[in-house]
Structure 1
Amino acid sequence: MRDGTPSSKGHGTPPGGDFGQELRRLRARAGLSQEALAHAAGVSVRALADMERGRTRGPQRRTVGALAEALGLDDGEAAGLEGAAALGRPRPRPAIGPAGPGPLALPRDIGDFTARGPALARLLDLARSTAGDRPVVSVVAGQPGLGKTAFAVHAAHRLAPHFPDGRFALDLHGMDPEPVTPRDALARLLGALGVPDATLPAGTDDRAGLWRSLAGERRLLLLLDNAADEAQVAPLLPGAGPSLTLVTSRNALAGLESVHRTDLALLRREEAVELLSRIIGPDRVRAEAQAARDLADLCGHLPLAVRIAGQRLLSRPHERLAKLVARLAAEGRRLDGLQAGSLGVRATFALSYRQLPPESRTLLRRAALAAGADFSPETGALLAGLSYDEAVARAEELTDAGLLQSDAAAERYRFHDLLRLYAAEQADAEDGPEVRDAALDRTADWMLRRATAAALHFDVDHERTGPEADPDPDTAPTGRDEARAWLEAERAQWLAALRRAHETGRHRQVLDAAEAMHWFSDLNQHWEQWVEIFQRSADAARALGSRREEAVHLNYLAWAYNLCVHDPRAALTSADAALTAARDCGDGLQEGWALGYGAGALSRLGRTAEAQERLRGAVRCLAAQESPQGRLAELTALNSLGTLLRQTGRAAEALDIHRRSERICLAGVPGRTEEVIALYHAVARQQIGNDLAALGRWQEAEAPLRQALDAFEAAQMPAWASQARLDLGQALGAVGHPEARETLVAARAALGALRSPLQAEADAALAALDQATADT
C-alpha cells in the first residue's frame, strides 16, 4: 500500500495483452460462431469482427462483461479479458500537450446572429495578419446591451480555422463585486494548455511569464469576456507569437497600448428588423412589417432589447406584433430608458421580467442577493421563500426565458452581470429593506446550521451528528463525501452567512459554526478563508465576553496564519493574544496551545531558540493538565518539540521525545476514541521515521513513514498525507528504492495542489534523486 489504496494484482492477461487474439481463442474454445457470440452478447457482428481483427483494441468495460458472460468465463478469465481490453484503451497524456476542447471551449454560437459585417471583416483581416511574434489584441467595448459578447463569440467561431492550436473563452466577471483576479485567470488559462495544478507558479507575475512563454509558441485565439479594467487584462495578453485576443468590456480599456478597437454601434433599423425576423421567423415579420419597424424603434435598436422582445414573441406564436408594440408604447418611461445608456438595459430586462409569474419574479430578484458567481436551488428557495422543487421549476423557467444561465454539469444557475444588477434593484424596489433583510437572515441562518452540521462529519473528536442537527434532515448530506461536496460547492454562501451572522450580532452562531469547522479546516488547509473565519469567531467570543473561547479561537487563528496563508508574524500576534486570554481566565490547556502555536511562528521566523523555549514551556504546562484534551495537546507539543530539535541537529534527543509521544498513544487516553488516538500515533510514527532518517537509519525509517501515510489517507487528511509522502519519498531515495521517484512525484503533485511551500522541498528532493541516478 503506497498511496492509501491496496495494491491490486491482476488475474492474468493473454500473452502480449492482445485482446482480439484472446477473444478469438475463447470463442473457438466455446465452439461459437461470430454470429452466435454477437447475438448472445448483444453486440453487432461487425463490432465483434472489428474486435477480433484488432481494429477495436479497447472496448468498453460493459461490452467486455457481456462477452465474458456469453462465453461462460469464470471470474479469473473475465478479469484477464478485461485487463487486455484496458491495455488498448486510450490513456490521458500527463504532459503538456496541444490545446484542445475543454473547460474554456468557446460558447455555442448564435444561429440568428445579425449584422456587424464590417466589424467582422476587420477582425478577419487581423486574423490573417497574425504572424511571427506580433500578437494581435482587439478590444470590443461599448454600452451595455450592444451584444459585445454575442459578437465576440460569433467572430471567434468565424475566425477559429485560422487558429488551430487552441480557441479559449474566459469570463472575467468584470461586473461582479469581486472580478476574477489575474492570478486565478492565469491558472485557468495555463490549465487549458495542459499545465497541471501542481506545477503552477504561486505568484501572478510568474504565472504570467509561464503563460506568455507557452502562448508564444502557439497560434491561439483567446476571448476575454467581461473585463473589469486594464490591470485585470494586461497580465493575460500573450507577449509574442501569432495569437489573436478579443477582449470585451463595458469600459473602454483606454490604458491598453497597441491594441485594435472594435467599437460596436446601435443597430440600424433594418438590421434590428432583420434580427427580429431571424428570431421569430420572416413570415410573422412580413405580415406586420410596420409593427416590426415600430418595435425595433421602441427597443432603441439595442440588440439585447430586440432579442428579448423577439424571445417574448417566440414563446407566444399566436400573439400579434402590434399587441406588443402597443404595450411598449403605454410605458413611456421604459422607452425613455431604452434610449438612455444603462437605463436601456434596465428597461429591456423589465420587458421580460414583468411577463413572469409572481413566483418567478420573486426568485429572479431574490436570487440576486446570493453570494458567489452562481447559486443553487437551495439558496434560491431560501431567499424567495419557495420549496426546493418550486425553486427548481422557476429557475428552469427563467433559464428558458434567457434570464438565467444553467450550469452544464451541476444544478446551479448564474446571472448575466447586468441582469443581476437589475434584479437586485427590483429587490430594493419591490421588497424593501425589511423583506430583503428577512430573506438574507433566513438564508444565513439555514446555511450556517447546515454548514455546522456538515462540518461536524469531520470532527473525529465529536460524537457523530445526527440528521436532526441539520435544518432539513431529509436533504442533509450523509457521510463525509456528501458533506465535503456541499461545503465546497456552497463555500461562498455559508461564508457570506457567517459574515452576516457576525455583522448582525449572532455571535453564538458564529462561534458554533467556526468550532464545528475546526477539524474540517485541516482537510482544506489551503483555503485562505480560514483566517477570516477564525478572526470573526475570535471577535464573536470577545463580544460575548468569553475569554476562554476567545483564547480557543485566537489559537485557531494562529494556526490559520501559520499554515493557510504562511504569515508567521500575524500568527505570532494571534498566539500571543491567545496566551494572554488563556492566562487571564486560568485555562492551562489553551495556554499550552498558545505557546505551541507561538513556537511554530517563531520557528518559521528563524527564531529557533525562542521557539524551543516556548515548546518546552508548552510541554510543562500541558503535562500538568489531567483532562483528555490536555493529553492530546501534550502529544502535539511533544511532537513539535522533537521536530524542532531534529531540525537543529539533535536527532537522537528528538527520537527520545517522539518515542515518549508514542508511548502515550499506545497507553491510550481515557475519553478519547481510538480514531483520534490513531491520528496522533500516526504523527508520532511520522516523526520517528524522520528522526531515524536524520540519524542515517534509512532502512528503519521506511516502516513508520508508511504507517503514518496510510493513517492520514484513511482519515482523508490530504495536507498531512502529502507531507508524509514527501518524507517517505526522501527516505526511499536515500536507499535507492525503486518506488522513490514515483513517491516524490506524487508528493510534489499533492503539495502543489495544496499550494504548500513544501513543494519546493519536493522539487529539490526530485532533483537530487535524478542527479544521483545520473551519477550512478
Structure 2
Amino acid sequence: MRGGTPSTDDFGQRLRVLRARAALSQEALAHAAGVSVRALADMERGRTRGPQRRTVRALADALGLDADEAAGLEESAALGRPRPRTAEGPAVPVALALPRDIQDFTARDAVLARLQDLAGDTGPDRPVVAVVAGQPGLGKTAFAVHAAHRLAPHFPDGQFALDLHGMDAEPTGPRDALARLLGAVGVADGAIPAGTDDRAGLWRSLAAERRLLLLLDNAADEAQIGPLLPGTGASLTIVTSRQALAGLTSVHRCDLALLRREEAVEMLTRIVGPERVRAEEQAARDLADLCGHLPLAVRIAGQRLLSRPHERLGKLVDRLAAEGRRLDGLQAGNLRVRAAFALSYRQLPTQARTFLRRAALAAGADFSPETGALLAGLTLDEAVARAEELTDAGLLQSDPAVERYRFHDLLRLYAAEQVEAEDGPEVRDAALDRTARWMLRRAAAAALHFDADHDHTAPSGDPDPDGAPAGREAARAWLEAERTQWLAALRRAHDTGRHRQVLDTAEAMHWFSDLNQHWEQWVEVFQRSSDSARALGSRREEAVHLNYLAWAYNLCVHDPRAALVSADAALDAARDSEDGLQQGWALGYGAGALQRLGRLSEAETRLRDAAGCLAGQGAPQARLAELSTLNALGILLRQTGRAAEALDIHRRGERICRAGVPGRAAELIAFYHAVHRQQIGNDLAALGRWQEAEPPLRQALDVFDAAQMPSWAEQARLDLGQVLGAMGHPEARETLLAARDALAALRSPRQAEAATALAELGQTATDG
C-alpha cells in the first residue's frame, strides 16, 4: 500500500490517518465528501463505527484513494456495521425501509440545508423533530423521502419510514405504530408490551441508545404523533402532515412554498427532457403557470407528457387553459390533482366543507372572514374559526399581516366544483345575492364618509352598524381592501336587475372616486350606473352618471374620445330633463375631452358656455361646478399661451372660494381653493414669476397631502419641482424624483413630464 496506509481494522483510526496523509482538515474533507463536520468527527472518534457504503465511497473519492485503499476503508467500515441476527434472535428488520427516492427531485435547497444543519445538531440529549406541513400537492412526502436519503449517513443505526395513514377513515393508532417501530429495532413480537404507554416507554428507551432517522409520514394529529417521538438520543424525526400540528412543542418547522416559475420549469425539464422544453420554452412557462407552480400538478403534467413522447407541450397548455377542464387535464395514471384535494376535503367537518366551497365564490385573489361568513351563511365568529381550521389543514393560506385568506388557484377550482355538485345553482345564487346586497350596503355607507353633500348625522344604512368602519380612515381602508368584492357585487346587482341599488351605490361613491382617480374600475362603476339609470327611465340620473363616466374616461383611463361620447350623451339627457347643473357639467367634461384631443378652440367655447350656464344658477352645487369649470378654462388659456388671462380666471375662482359657498363645509371649499392656488402658481410660472409661483404651489401641495389625495398631490409636487428647478433651488431634484416615482405608480401620463424635468435639471447642472 502506498504511503503506509494503516492496517488497523478500526475505521475511525484508518480514516484519521488517511485524512492526515492528504493534509485535509475535517472541514475540508467534510465539504469534499458531502457530509457534515459533526458526522465526520463522530466517525473519527469511533462514535460511528460503520457508516454506509455510499458515505465510505464519498470519503474515498474525496481522499483520492486508489481501488485497494478504498476497498480497505470499506472493509473496516463493514466490520463496524450491525451484523444480521442469527436464527437464535429476531431477524434484521426491513419492513420500515425508506421508500425509493425520486431521481428528478427539484428545488427545496434552502429547506434541505436547514435539515442538514439539524441532522448535525443531534446529540444524546438533543433529539430533533422537524415538521413538514402544508396544503395538498406541495410534495411533502417526496421532500421528506429525498431528505431522508440525503441524511441517511448521519444515522447509521437505522432509517425507518412509517406511513401513519392520517387521511384515511381510520388512521394508524399510536399503539399499532409503536409495535411496528419496536419490531423495526429488533424487539420480538412476544416481547412487545400490551399497553400504549408501556410500548412508548420501551421505544424511547431503545431509541435513546441509537442514532436513528425516523420518517413519520402522513400524520393525522398531535395525539397520534406524540407517543412516537424519542425523548433522548441522537435521532432525527421528520413528520409530514396536511395539518399544521401546531400543538407539537419543541419542533422545527420546515415550510414548503410553491415552486418559483423557473423551478417548476426545471422540474418539467427533468421529467420530459431538456430537448422538448427547449423546443417550446414559452409553452413550458405557460404550463408551469397553469399548474399554479404546485409540485404535484407539475409532476402530473410532466408524467402525462412523458407517456406521450410525440405530444407537444402547447397542446396540453391549450387544454389546461380552460378552467372547466383544468383539473380533468391534470391526471396521469393514478396521479390526480383532484383526488389529492378530495382526500383532504372529505376529512373536514360539515361546516368547514361548506365554508371552503362557498369561499371559492368570493371575487378576487383573497377574501375576508366577513365575505366567507356571508357566502356560507355563518356568523362572523364561526367563519373566523372555520377559516383558521382550514388554514391549519393546509387548504387556505392566511395573510401574514391582516385577517384575510386565499386559495391556491387549483384548489379554488376544486372547491367551486363542489359548489356545483353539493349546493347547486339555486343555493349558489342565493349565497351570491345575499353577499352582494350586504357588500353594496356596506360599500355605500363607507363611501358616504367622503360625501360633502351627505348628512353625517343620519343613519348610515350599513348592514352591521356595530361592525361598520368608524371614520374616514377606516372607511377608506375597507373600501380599498374589499375593492374587488364590492365591484363584483355591483356587477351582480346590475346583471340581476337591481338597478336602484346600483345607482345608489355609485352615487355614494362619487366623492370617494375623486380621491382615487388612478383606479381604472371607475369606468365600469359609472358605465353600469348610467345603464341602470337608463333601465329605470330616469333621464336626470342618466345625465348625472354619464357625466361621472365622462370624468372617469378623461382622468382615470385617459381616453378622451370615449369621454367626449359620454359627455355628449350626458348633455342630451340633461337638456331632456331640463337640468342646468348637469348641462354645465356635461359641457365642462366635453371640453376636457376636446382639449386632450387637441381641439382647443372647441374646448374653449364649451368651457365658456359651461361657465355662463352655471353662473346663472344659485344652488351651491352650481358654485362648485363653476369653480371646476373656471379652473379648466384657466388651464386651457395658459396652455394656449395666454397665461395672463389664465391668471385672471383662476383669481376669479379664488375670490369665489374666499367668499365661501353657503351650505358647504369650510374643508371642502379649502380643497377647491387649493386647486385654484395650484393653478395660480402655474400661471405665475408661465409668466416667469418664479418667486411668486412657489408659495401657492406649496400651499396647494400641503392641502392635498393632508387630505391623502395622491392623484392631486403628486401633480402639484411635479409643478412645484419644476418651479424649484427654474429657481435653482436645492430641493428641486428630491421633489421631482418623488413626483416621478409616485406618478409612475399612479399610471399618470404626467410621469413622462416629470422624467423630462429631471433630465433637464441634470443637463442644467452639467452646463453649470
**2:627 maps to which of 635, 645, 656:** 635
Question: In the alignment, does 2:456 pair up with 1:418?
Answer: no
Cα displacement string for residues 385-407 of structure 1 (whole angstroms, at most 9, x for unaligned residues): 11111111111111222222222
**1:743 maps to which of 711, 715, 735:** 735
| Matches for 1:263-282 after TM superposition, within 5 Å | 264-265=302-303
Q: Distance in 2 between matches of 1:564 and 1:503?
A: 24
Q: Distance in 2 between matches of 1:585 and 1:515?
A: 18
Tell me which residue corresponds to 2:676: 684
Question: In the alignment, does 2:442 pair up with 1:450?
Answer: yes
Cα displacement string for residues 693-739 of structure 1 (whole angstroms, at most 9, x for unaligned residues): 11111111111111111111122211111111111111111111222
Question: In the alignment, does 2:476 pair up with 1:484?
Answer: yes
Of residues 731-740 and 690-699 in structure 1, the stretch that sits farther from structure 2 once superposed is: 731-740
Question: What secondary structure sits across from 2:610 in the alignment?
Answer: helix
| CA distance 1:684–1:394, shift in 2 (3 Å) | same
| Matches for 1:111-122 after TM superposition, within 5 Å | 117-120=102-105
Letter in 1 for 2:617: Q
Q: Distance in 2 between matches of 1:630 and 1:245?
A: 58
Tell me which residue corresponds to 1:80: none
Tell me which residue corresponds to 1:672: 664
Q: Distance in 1 between matches of 2:146 and 2:751?
A: 42
Q: Distance in 2 between matches of 1:414 and 1:755?
A: 27
Tell me which residue corresponds to 1:559: 551
Question: What secondary structure sits across from 2:261 in the alignment?
Answer: strand
Shift of 1:146: 7.0
**1:598 maps to which of 590, 601, 607:** 590
Of residues 688-697 and 514-523 in structure 1, the stretch that sits farther from structure 2 once superposed is: 514-523
Tell me which residue corresponds to 1:208: none
**1:702 maps to which of 685, 694, 702:** 694
Cα displacement string for residues 119-150 of structure 1 (whole angstroms, at most 9, x for unaligned residues): 138999xxxxxxxxxxxxxxxxxxx9876899
Q: Distance in 2 between matches of 1:154 and 1:764?
A: 58
Question: In the alignment, does 2:261 pair up with 1:223?
Answer: yes
Shift of 1:580: 0.8
Of residues 456-465 and 575-584 in structure 1, the stretch that sits farther from structure 2 once superposed is: 456-465
| CA distance 1:345–1:775, shift in 2 (3 Å) | closer
Tell me which residue corresponds to 1:626: 618
Task: Tell me the TM-score normalized by structure 1.
Answer: 0.59
Preserved CA contact (<8 Å) 2:546 2:566:
yes
Preserved CA contact (<8 Å) 1:709 1:721:
yes
Cα displacement string for residues 569-613 of structure 1 (whole angstroms, at most 9, x for unaligned residues): 111111111111111111111111111111111111111111111
Letter in 2 for 1:223: R
| Matches for 1:424-439 after TM superposition, within 5 Å | 424-439=416-431
Q: Distance in 1 between matches of 2:357 and 2:530?
A: 34
Preserved CA contact (<8 Å) 1:713 1:721:
yes
Preserved CA contact (<8 Å) 1:582 1:588:
yes
| Matches for 1:79-478 after TM superposition, within 5 Å | 117-120=102-105, 223=261, 247=285, 249=287, 264-265=302-303, 344-464=336-456, 468-478=460-470
Question: What secondary structure sits across from 2:366 in the alignment?
Answer: coil
Question: What secondary structure sits across from 2:347 in the alignment?
Answer: coil
Q: Distance in 1 between matches of 2:579 and 2:144?
A: 62
Q: Distance in 1 between matches of 2:335 and 2:433?
A: 31
Shift of 1:537: 0.6
Task: Tell me the TM-score normalized by structure 2.
Answer: 0.60
Preserved CA contact (<8 Å) 2:102 2:146:
no
| CA distance 1:653–1:719, shift in 2 (3 Å) | same
Tell me which residue corresponds to 1:550: 542
Shift of 1:422: 2.1
Q: Distance in 2 between matches of 1:264 and 1:651?
A: 67
| CA distance 1:370–1:262, shift in 2 (3 Å) | closer
Q: Distance in 2 between matches of 1:679 and 1:573?
A: 29
Tell me which residue corresponds to 2:710: 718
Q: Which has the higher contact order (CA 8 A, sep 6+)?
A: 1
Tell me which residue corresponds to 1:647: 639
Tell me which residue corresponds to 2:749: 757
Q: Distance in 2 between matches of 1:116 and 1:262?
A: 17
Shift of 1:675: 1.1
Tell me which residue corresponds to 2:726: 734
User: Which sections of structure 2, spanning at least 5 residues, go unmatched?
Assistant: 1-97, 110-134, 151-258, 269-277, 292-297, 305-327
Superposition RMSD in Å? 3.6
Tell me which residue corresponds to 2:57: none
Letter in 2 for 1:662: E
Tell me which residue corresponds to 2:761: 769
Preserved CA contact (<8 Å) 1:152 1:223:
no
| CA distance 1:115–1:552, shift in 2 (3 Å) | farther
Q: Distance in 1 between matches of 2:336 and 2:702?
A: 61
Identity %: 74
| CA distance 1:497–1:150, shift in 2 (3 Å) | farther
Tell me which residue corresponds to 1:571: 563
Preserved CA contact (<8 Å) 2:436 2:492:
yes
Tell me which residue corresponds to 2:503: 511
Q: Distance in 1 between matches of 2:333 and 2:100?
A: 21
Q: Distance in 2 between matches of 1:226 and 1:572?
A: 48
Q: Distance in 1 between matches of 2:401 and 2:144?
A: 21
| CA distance 1:412–1:466, shift in 2 (3 Å) | farther
Q: Distance in 1 between matches of 2:358 and 2:593?
A: 44
| CA distance 1:248–1:773, shift in 2 (3 Å) | closer
Letter in 2 for 1:701: A
User: Which sections of structure 1, spanning at least 5 residues, go unmatched?
Assistant: 1-112, 125-143, 160-220, 231-239, 254-259, 267-335
Q: Distance in 2 between matches of 1:549 and 1:389?
A: 40
Shift of 1:347: 4.0
